[in-house]
Structure 1
Amino acid sequence: MISTTSFTSLSPPPPPSTTASHPPPSVDRFAFLLDNSRSITRLLQTHASLLRHGFHDHPILNFKLQRSYAALGRLDYSVALFRRTPRPNVFFWTSLIHAHAQSGLHDQALLYYAEMLTQGVDPNCFTFSTVLKVCSLEPGRALHCQAIKLGFDSDLYVRTGLVDVYARARDVWSAQHLFDTMPERSLVSLTAMITCYAKHGKVDEARALFDRMGDRDVVCWNVMIDGYAQHGMPNESLFLFRKMLAAKVRPNEVTVLAVLSACGQIGALESGRWLHTYMANNRIQINVHVGTALIDMYSKCGSLEDARLVFDRIRDKDVIAWNTMIVGYAMHGFSQDALQLFNEMCRIGYQPTDITFIGVLSACAHAGLVSQGQEFFGLMKDEYGIKLKVEHYGCMVNLLSRAGHLEEAYELIKNMDINPDPVLWGTLLGACRLHGNAALGEEIAEFLVSQDLANSGTYILLSNIYAASGNWDGVAKVRTLMKESGIQKEPGCSSIEVNNKIHEFLAGDKRHPKSKQIYKMLEEINDWLKANGYTPQTDIVLHDLGERQKEQSLEVHSEKLAIAFGLISTKPGTTIRVVKNLRVCPDCHAVTKLISKITGRKIVMRDRNRFHHFENGSCSCGDYW
């Protein structure tokens, strides 16, 4: 409990004598001074003067004083004053509850509310709307019943608070029922319901409500933009952000964080750079949170140079900023840079977190640093006391299996302290395909199917293993299993940003307005490749087709279409950046290396696992991916 001794020495003195030339300050004068106190020193002076002139028991001045102390960060003084107030009414209690809610002391705010009830003071609508902001589901339901009993449930602010309680508790049905029965709706209540929908993935419902709104403030725009970004719809997020700018609504830090996330998801580097410039021109502060989001965006969009520039300029970096830069280096396969930054971080005195080690272990995995990875894996528990998560095991399985230590990776999975997820099994299954271990691959796949853990990736990897060994009966068997289970292969999709617009391609896609030019460019690329002795890697095609048909299938992979579009749409020498939703296939990897050499272009490709920087016929991964 906060001590009340702060004011024990401030006993009220006897009223001062006054003269006609020096009349005492009035209640209105003190009220004005209290309302306009901008520092704790000035407020203390006003309080002392109030005591000297005998206004220590004035209810309005005491209320204003209590509220002013809380507003200036002296919650202890505010509580002390409250405890000295005889028979505080509902306004005093509500102010006390509000102050604790604003300070993030939610449990204390609820305790004061309960104490108020035991003192026989009934809440009003403002008390309800205040205390509802700090409620979880069960206290919220109890308050809902109490609001109905006291007749406050139809109040606009109380009902909005109840909608928010149910929304935060993921009870969408209750939130929607309350919202639908509101006699009138404010901007706040509309935003609360949109937030409820967006937070729980019902973005279509959120957008329908958003579109019906008349006035929209920045908070409402932010909720919708972030809702799209958080639920895998980054293109819609960026489109809505442009509409927000066109509507002359000024973005704030929350907007920026959501839009940077959307840019990072689809590799929209030009859009991200534009937003970075916009922030500088419109005085949006690049604090550690925004700076970290910029690092993440630039890393995911393939520009580590920009990411490092932002990192170096951030003042008062926290561990999250360091983690983001380390993960960025690891994602690009710049393993030594990631480990060097980790060592620097520890030398300065930052305590690594579980995310730090995900970055460090990923860096080791991408470079085949088995012994170093095992050493870091041990340090996590023994030196830093970090609890191992499935992501850390995933990094180690990737490290071991990529390096050919399949049995060791298999044993690690079987002896884990936590249940392995399908992604982790898929990592080992992919390594079985890479190293041609069909027996272990079949064993893993059968286990996943029997445990109902198989997904489309499981079946595709097993198909790859069979196809690589020419076992077309096995491929047919897998396809039958997929059909019977209703599982469809995730289509390969590649995207490229040109002139601030994202262009997406599927394998064999002919929907693009420049489709004829793209396929003409592909023919030209094929001529270049043949002239340089390229042989298509038809063994990776999962269909039992003729050799020429397999070659034609490889020629129209989505990443090749995206690269061809980049070549015809950008100036010579411009870096081409492609984002693919799946792992880049060996044939496309080999072809992209040759294209980079023939055209003199740098090509940066982000696939599901990592980044590849193709330049002058080589890849940054060293063909180890």
Structure 2
Amino acid sequence: MSHALFTSLPPTNTTTNTFPFTFSPSTRLQPSSLHPDQASLLLSQCTSARRLLEIHAAILRSEILHHQVVNFRLQKSYASLGYVEKCLILFRQTPAPNVFFWTNAIHAHAIQGLRFITISLFTEMLSSDATPNGYTLSAALKACHLYLGKLVHGYAIKQSLHTEPYVATALLDMYARGGDVEAARFLFDEMLEQPIASTTAMITCYAKRGDLAQARQLFDETSQRDSVCWNAMMDGYAQYGKPNEAVNLFRQMLKSDSRPNEVTILSVLSAIAQLGCVSSGKWVHSFIKNKINRIRLNAKVGNALIDMYYKCGNLEDACLVFDTMKEKDVVVWNTMIAGYAMHGQSQKALELFDMVRFRGLWPTNITFIGVLNACSHAGLVEQGRRFFHLMKIEYKIEPKIEHYGCMVDLLGRAGLVEEAYDLILGMNNIEPDAIMWSSLLASCRLHNNTSLGEKIANYVVSKGYANSGTYVLLSNIYAAVGNWDKVALVRQLMRESGVQKEPGCSAIELGNKIFEFVVGDRSHPQSRKIYAMLDELSALIKAHGYVPATDLVLHDLEEEAEKEKSLAVHSERLAVAFGLVSTKPGTEIKIMKNLRVCVDCHNAFKLIAKVTKRKIVVRDRSRFHHFSEGTCSCGDYW
């Protein structure tokens, strides 16, 4: 027997189970006391690697490994504990394995995601004396992509196994994973009985395609739902920009017979992060802390909590979760680095990167995206260049478009627009996308580089990359220099292209409710109070030196007063005014905006925070701004 079977297994706890005879970590099994039936019973009750090694040793001493049932149960026990390599060693030493041995080996590798070995074993089995049954096919199908899955489907039809429930469900799942909705739906409709696993696979299939209406219809028609079914629908909502629906579904699930599990929590926290609703996040966090709910604060759950808190503007709680976590993999460190970067605490993000290296963790490409973002938000050009080269030279990570995008953003914000442009042109085997060009175009607007801005805009339009943001940025460039004829021309191009400007929308959470505002909004019941507050704020901040940035207004308005009035009713200002009239003095105000906050509102918010003695937190498309006492956490660099 290979010694490899008795190495590399971690120690486990020493809780004593009840066995037919005394069996504890300090007591070795006696060869004379172990018979095949006893060995089989012990293996069926074994739940730890250490106990399994002891039983295995006793089996060897008792010379009963050749017993088919004992051998099979031993392989199955190793597989159930995740030690598939031990299972495979035993399998290879089994003379003439039957269908049960083959199926166990195939299933063990399939559930571990070892697709290549799974398919290899299945192919090898087809050349052996053993004939696959329905369970074998269902296990093999877990590892099949669409092309291979169709071949297995053909084999199942040939063997008249395709109608067996396990096989039919596995086939449906395979087609669903492969994105063949029509084939999956055909199999689903052909089933005489539709088990919950098949329904869930079909819901997942629709959700992955973005057809949430069909997914929800099927979900609502299902009377017996398990947690996997709930999770599939919830995850679909979270992944396709319907976070409210995901959170509402979670509330419904709590009233059902299904118990939320770790996957449920990951989905709902992702949805809450999109909403920016920290009160809902705290509620879910309390749910996790309640031991009765059996949700362990492992690396995945902790990472989701950190992500949720910092995206909801609560960096302090994100840090608290991070500091109290016992399990921290590199993904958790990456998320915390990204959180610091997004909130303008670039130095702390870089310090965290140093800690990652100090602890011996290997940075990933995601780590460097967070670090480069931190450099970009703080204008740390030299550090950014150093990290970009460190990633390639020391860690052998080939830069992806996200890394180049960070560098273009960093250089562009620092005024090095020509260098950023050259970097884009020099990218190897990577095609710049619309986001990268828009970033450079924004830098051209910021630094009044009209000639390069025009050049980039013309290229983007000719390539069909232009979106509403492209046209708006180009309009801003022309408006800044007073070239209203070209502003009109850009608008005409937008109309001819069918492109519409994305309307600015800002939201504020008060009393566990989200209130949304658009520019010039007067639909709110407290609209009169809101506009009165705006007028009061305007007078107060002017007394402290505020000067409206009227050059930002795209309209060719003749009177400066009209331009100033246009700026004063931006959606984020309406949200802040509503927050001021609706909360007690000193209460922190948090705003979420779908677009980048404009320079004029940014200047105004610094003074509003000062005159009202409030802290104002604004989350825009790219980062968080913390306004307090006349300053912003971004240092006016964003």
* Superposition TM-score, scaled by structure 1 size: 0.91
Q: Rate the CA distance shift 1:51–1:366 in 2: closer, same or farther, 3 A.
A: closer
Distance 1:92 1:500 in 2: 56
Q: Rate the CA distance shift 1:249–1:528 in 2: closer, same or farther, 3 A.
A: farther
Match of residue 231 from structure 1: 240
| 2:469 alignment partner AA | G
Match of residue 19 from structure 1: none
Cα deviation for residue 445 of structure 1 reads 0.5
Moved more, 143-152 or 502-511: 502-511
Cα deviation for residue 582 of structure 1 reads 0.8
1:501 aligns with 2:513: yes
Match of residue 608 from structure 1: 621
Structure 2 counterpart of 1:404, from 415, 431, 443? 415
1:429 aligns with 2:438: no
Cα deviation for residue 211 of structure 1 reads 1.4
Cα deviation for residue 47 of structure 1 reads 6.4
| 2:381 alignment partner AA | V
Cα deviation for residue 487 of structure 1 reads 0.7
Q: Is the partner of 2:418 in helix, strand or coil?
A: helix
Query: What CA deviation, in whole Å up to 9, does each residue of 1:79-126 have, x standing for no partner?
Result: 455455554432232222222223333322222222222124322221
Distance 1:351 1:25 in 2: 47
Cα deviation for residue 161 of structure 1 reads 0.7
| 2:456 alignment partner AA | I
Distance 1:525 1:494 in 2: 18
Match of residue 599 from structure 2: 586
Query: What CA deviation, in whole Å up to 9, does each residue of 1:13-32 have, x standing for no partner?
Result: xxxxxxxxxx9998765543
Match of residue 116 from structure 1: 125
Q: Is the partner of 1:578 in helix, strand or coil?
A: strand
Alignment of 1:279-358 (within 5 A): 279-282=288-291, 283-358=294-369
Distance 1:5 1:414 in 2: 53
Structure 1 counterpart of 2:481, from 469, 476, 480? 469
Match of residue 157 from structure 2: 148
Q: CA RMSD of the aligned region, Å?
A: 2.7
Q: Is the partner of 1:134 in helix, strand or coil?
A: coil
Match of residue 380 from structure 1: 391
Match of residue 441 from structure 1: 453
| 1:595 alignment partner AA | I
Distance 1:339 1:43 in 2: 45
Structure 2 counterpart of 1:557, from 570, 575, 583? 570
Q: Is the 8 A contact 1:109 1:131 kept in 2?
A: yes
Cα deviation for residue 350 of structure 1 reads 2.6
Moved more, 507-516 or 293-302: 507-516
* Superposition TM-score, scaled by structure 2 size: 0.89
Match of residue 504 from structure 2: 492
Query: What CA deviation, in whole Å up to 9, does each residue of 1:283-312 have, x standing for no partner?
Result: 421112211222222221112221222222
Cα deviation for residue 382 of structure 1 reads 2.2
Structure 1: tracts of 5 or more residues without a match: 8-22
Cα deviation for residue 391 of structure 1 reads 1.6
Match of residue 204 from structure 2: 195
Match of residue 20 from structure 1: none
Alignment of 1:64-79 (within 5 A): 64-75=73-84, 78-79=87-88
Cα deviation for residue 449 of structure 1 reads 1.0
1:478 aligns with 2:487: no
| 2:582 alignment partner AA | S
| 1:564 alignment partner AA | A
1:359 aligns with 2:365: no
Match of residue 165 from structure 1: 174
Cα deviation for residue 378 of structure 1 reads 2.1
Match of residue 131 from structure 1: 140
| 1:370 alignment partner AA | V
Q: Is the partner of 1:349 in helix, strand or coil?
A: coil
Q: Rate the CA distance shift 1:79–1:385 in 2: closer, same or farther, 3 A.
A: closer
Q: Rate the CA distance shift 1:150–1:513 in 2: closer, same or farther, 3 A.
A: farther
Match of residue 413 from structure 1: 424
Cα deviation for residue 457 of structure 1 reads 0.9
Q: Is the partner of 1:114 in helix, strand or coil?
A: helix
1:277 aligns with 2:286: yes
Alignment of 1:85-96 (within 5 A): 85=94, 87-96=96-105
State percent identity of aligned pairs.
Answer: 58
Distance 2:406 2:36 in 1: 68
Distance 1:292 1:440 in 2: 41
Distance 1:525 1:436 in 2: 30
Q: Is the 8 A contact 1:195 1:206 kept in 2?
A: yes
| 2:480 alignment partner AA | A
Cα deviation for residue 371 of structure 1 reads 2.0
Match of residue 380 from structure 2: 369
Distance 1:161 1:587 in 2: 57
Alignment of 1:245-264 (within 5 A): 245-247=254-256, 249-264=258-273
Cα deviation for residue 375 of structure 1 reads 2.1
